[in-house]
């Protein structure tokens, strides 16, 4: 089952002044349960592609279908709702809400979804357990290490039961041990729960764990390799 389909995606910044062609006709299909790393040098268009797949940015041209829906036709508010219901985000800088505890950060998405409190509480505890942070439930981000914060971010991304998770350089700010822990957690979720992960990364440790590596160069896919683990 295809989770993401892009056809001829182009993205040009500053089209009226000095055009920068960030993506130049990207065709990509991601299937459910994939553990995909999008790699490439800086400026190759990884983040732009991730932003477009995640509905955070719109392509200049091309077709994009996420979860069976053509998201290029959605209004801003519909896109926000779509992201909330279908996509989990993990950012490089964790980006937790600083005034909320670990539990509240995870719960927040479900609150936006209108899920009843009892269900929210149950799922939050399950997710915290899944990322190994049962004992940090009431800690605020500032009281957690970088690795722990990123694990909370993963739990938050999973909270809405999304179709897939987009992770933009998730290990860029982590030490080796935290990186390994995080990758273990994500790989387990992928294997056991069949959650689809798409990363953009420079990190070889992430690339080594990916089962598919898509390489972007100057806005085009230069290679797309499935790796046997």
For other proteins, the closer CB: 77 or 229: 77
* Cβ nearer to other proteins, comparing 99 with 225: 99
3-state helix, strand, coil in the chain (%, to 5): 40, 30, 30
Cα separation, 200 vs 40, whole angstroms: 9
Give the footprint of other proteins on residues 132-161 (CB under 8 A).
156, 160
Out of 7, 20, 29, 99, the only residue in the binding site for other proteins (CB under 8 A) is: 99
Of the candidate residues 1, 14, 98, 192, the single one contacting other proteins (CB under 8 A) = 98
Judged by CB under 8 A, how many residues of this single chain contact other proteins? 27
For the chain, strand residue ranges (E) read 2-13, 20-31, 35-39, 61-66, 69-70, 87-90, 164-168, 196-201, 212-217, 220-226
Contact pattern for other proteins over residues 160 through 189, marking x by CB under 8 A? x-----------------------------
Relative to beta strand 196-201, strand 164-168 is: parallel
CB 29 within 8 A of CB 57: no
As a whole number of angstroms, the distance between CA 116 and CA 148 comes to: 27
Q: Which of 21, 32, 84, 202 binds other proteins (CB under 8 A)?
A: 84
Residues forming the site for other proteins (CB under 8 A): 51, 54, 56-57, 76-77, 80-81, 83-85, 89, 91, 95, 97-100, 104, 107-109, 111-113, 156, 160
């Amino acid at each position: 089952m295809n989770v993401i389909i892009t056809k001829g995606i182009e993205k040009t910044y500053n089209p009226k002044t000095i055009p920068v062609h960030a993506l130049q006709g990207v065709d990509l299909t991601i299937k459910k349960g994939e553990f995909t790393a999008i790699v490439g040098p800086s400026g190759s268009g990884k983040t732009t592609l991730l932003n477009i797949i995640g509905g955070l940015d719109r392509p200049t041209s091309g077709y994009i279908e996420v979860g069976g829906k053509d998201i290029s036709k959605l209004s801003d508010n519909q896109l926000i709702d779509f992201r909330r219901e279908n996509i989990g985000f993990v950012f490089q800088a964790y980006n937790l809400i600083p005034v909320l505890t670990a539990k509240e950060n995870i719960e927040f998405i479900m609150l936006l979804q209108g899920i009843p409190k009892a269900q929210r509480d149950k799922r939050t505890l399950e997710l915290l357990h899944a990322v190994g942070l049962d004992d940090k439930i009431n800690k605020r981000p500032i009281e957690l290490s970088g690795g722990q914060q990123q694990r909370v971010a993963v739990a938050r991304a999973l909270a809405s039961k999304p179709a897939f998770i987009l992770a933009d350089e998730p290990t860029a700010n982590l030490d080796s041990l935290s990186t390994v822990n995080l990758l273990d957690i994500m790989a387990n979720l992928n294997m056991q729960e069949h959650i689809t992960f798409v990363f953009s990364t420079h990190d070889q440790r992430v690339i080594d764990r990916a089962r598919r590596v898509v390489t972007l160069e100057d806005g085009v896919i230069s290679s797309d390799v499935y790796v046997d683990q």
